[in-house]
Amino acid sequence: MSQRFLAGAPFAALLGLAAGTALVAPAWAADPEPIRIGVIAENQAIGGVAITNAAHLAADELNAKGGVGGRKIEIIEYDDHSSSADAVRAFQRAVNQDHVAAVIASYISEVVLALEPWAARLKTPLITPGAASNEISRAVHDDYARNKYTFHGYLTSSFLAQAVCDFSHDILVGKLHMTSTVVMSEDAAWTTPLDDTSLQCLPEAGLKVLDHIRFSPDTTDFTPLFNQIEAKHPDVITTGISHVGVQPTVQWASQQVPIPMAGISSQATTTSFWRDTNGAAQGVLVDENAAPDVAVTPKTIPFATAYAKRFGITPGYAGYSAADDVNIIAEAVQRAGSTDADKLVEELEKTDYVGTYGKVAFYGRNDQYTHALKYGPGYITTLVVQWQDGKQVTLWPENIANGKLTFPSFIKLPQPHAAQ
């Protein structure tokens, strides 16, 4: 036997094995073929594992009721280790080997943007339940024929910023008489449109923006940032953070920065945040799409309760949307009567589904944010919670509020008289 020929042997064997698994086609004897949905997420990350968990939960609930149109839902999960290259390979496997009808993928914009051309190439619907970058829907708008397979199942950054402004207007300005803020965001693509919108709408809401600070998502020491902010004497810090969360919150508390933090803080949306920060989250205000104990829709509380029972923590923000995505895909397959990608896209565009945190519908081809979630009253709105003694207490919108504002003792709120 030749020495060089053997060189090929181990990976030829690997190939054989891989090819072998490819050929073992599942045999569906009696049951109608299940609707297979691929879930590509980051199971080591709080934001990612919520997607996988919620998808399984939603599928199990549908299957317990007999599936959709007699067909079971089968979730096939893939871990992408937060890597876009890994996610692309998982997508290929999902489509070419596991023959899924559609893919639900990731909370990281970079990963979703890397998958978008593959959704077009392999003609398979792709929904992201958690990425926020405006680029995702912009690509659909700019080249609809090619990118129509991608749906943005989460609010784009601009809408998130609008939600924070609405809350600021009602509570921070209206109730707490605040007049100024500093915008503090991680330097990432999703925060560019976020900050563009907030810099415009915060003054309209009544908060003068004294400074705008962007910092590297790799930052671990936030002391200089907080000192820089404090020197401007704002009434509040408007946050735009997702890659970081625990570290700035803990340092804010341990340094007793006397200014409240309010805004987007994705890590703070799940209960493990309290544990990870050892309670430093006390008093932090966070914009969320749903809270586990507020009935935004009739489905919110049952879903959040079932999730917490099964996984031990409350669903992270992407959990709600991932559960809804499983349902809207299943219904689209049923309406289309097939898993043909183009028909599925047509049906997904007609989505009108009351989900766990609002009514899910997508913007059309001629709207600015094609295939992004519709935002606003009657569709998806958000709410603001505050961390209080290990619990998230809902404060806004006021019609669903179930608690009162309270801050740790080191926070100095503006005095209404001094402000005048």
Partner 1 sequence: MLALQILIDGFAISALYGLGAIGFTLIFGVSGVLNLSHGGIMVIAAIAAWAIAGDLHAGTYIGSAAGVLIGLIAALVTYGLVVRPIQRSRAIPRDETEIFVLTGTLLWGIMIQEAVAYFFTDNPVTVVPLISGVATIGGVRVPYNEIMIAAICWSVIGLLWLLVNRTRAGRALLAASINPRGLTLLGFELSSIYLLVWTIYGVLAGLAGVLLATFLGAGSANIGQLTASAFSIVVLGGLGSVSGSLLAAYVVGYLETLTAYLVAPTLRTIPSLLLLVIVVYLRPQGLLGRR
Partner 2 sequence: MAAVRRWRPWALVVLLVLLAVLPWGVSAYIVGVLTVAYYFAVYAMSWDLLFGFAGEVNFGPTFLIGLGAYAASLLDIHRWPVPLCVLVGAAAAVVGGAALAVPALRLRGPYFGLVTLVAVLVLQQVIVIFAGITGGEIGLSVPDVLAVDANPNYWYALAFMVASGGILVTLSRSPVGLILQASGQDATETAALGFNVAKHKVAAFCVSAFFSGLSGAMVVFYEGTVSVGSVIDLALGVQVIIAAVLGGRRTIYGAALGAIFLILANELLRPLGQLNTFVVAAVALIVILFFPNGFMGILGRAGERS
For partner 1, how many residues bind (rule: CB under 8 A)?
34
Task: Kindly list the strands in the beta sheet with 383-388, ordered across the sheet, starting from the edge strand earlier in the chain.
Answer: 208-215, 180-186, 236-241, 261-265, 285-288, 383-388, 391-396
User: For partner 1, what does the binding mask look like between residues 274 and 313, x meaning CB under 8 A?
Assistant: -xxxx-x---------------------------------
Say which entry of partner 1, partner 2, none residue 22 contacts (CB below 5 to 8 A, set by partner kind).
Answer: partner 2
CA distance 379 to 400: 16
Choose the contact partner of 297 out of partner 2, partner 1, none; CB within 5 to 8 A by kind.
none
Asked if 227 touches partner 1 (CB under 8 A), the answer is yes
- Element at 334 (helix H, strand E): helix 317-336
Residue number, 336 or 372, with CB nearest to partner 2: 372
The DSSP output letter for 111 is H
Other beta carbons less than 10 A from residue 316's beta carbon: 29
Under the binding rule (CB under 8 A), the answer on residue 250 touching partner 1 is: yes
The answer to whether 303 and 323 have CB atoms below 8 angstroms apart is: yes
Mutual angle of helices 84-92 and 109-121, in 10-degree steps: 30
Asked if 59 is part of the footprint of partner 1 (rule: CB under 8 A), the reply reads no
Chain residues 178-197 in contact with partner 1, contact rule CB under 8 A: 187
Task: Please identify which residue in 26, 51, 192, 387 interacts with partner 2, judged by CB under 8 A.
Answer: 192
Exactly one of 92, 96, 97, 223 binds partner 1 (CB under 8 A); that residue is 223
The separation between CA 199 and the C-alpha centre of its own chain, rounded to angstroms, equals: 22
Residue span binding partner 2 (CB under 8 A) among the ranges 95-103, 260-268, 315-323, 411-419? 95-103
Residue 235 touches which of partner 1, partner 2, none (CB < 5 to 8 A by kind)?
none
Q: Does 228 bind partner 1 (CB under 8 A)?
A: yes
Residue 212 touches partner 1, criterion: CB under 8 A = no
Half-sphere exposure of 262 (CA within 13 A, CB side): 33
Sheet holding 35-41, edge to edge: 73-79, 35-41, 102-105, 126-128, 150-152
390 touches partner 1 by CB under 8 A:
no
Is 79 a binder of partner 2 (CB under 8 A)?
A: yes
82 part of the interface to partner 1, by CB under 8 A: yes
Instruction: Look at the block and give the residue holding tokens 């692309």.
Output: 88
Q: Which stretch binds partner 1 (CB under 8 A): 103-111, 142-150, 151-159, 213-221?
A: 213-221
The SS3 assignment for 410 reads coil
Nearest C-alpha neighbor of 259 from the set 288, 287, 228: 228
The footprint of partner 2 (CB under 8 A) covers 1-12, 14-15, 17-19, 22, 43-44, 77-79, 81-86, 88-90, 92-93, 95-97, 109-110, 113-114, 116-118, 121, 133, 135, 139, 187-190, 192, 216-217
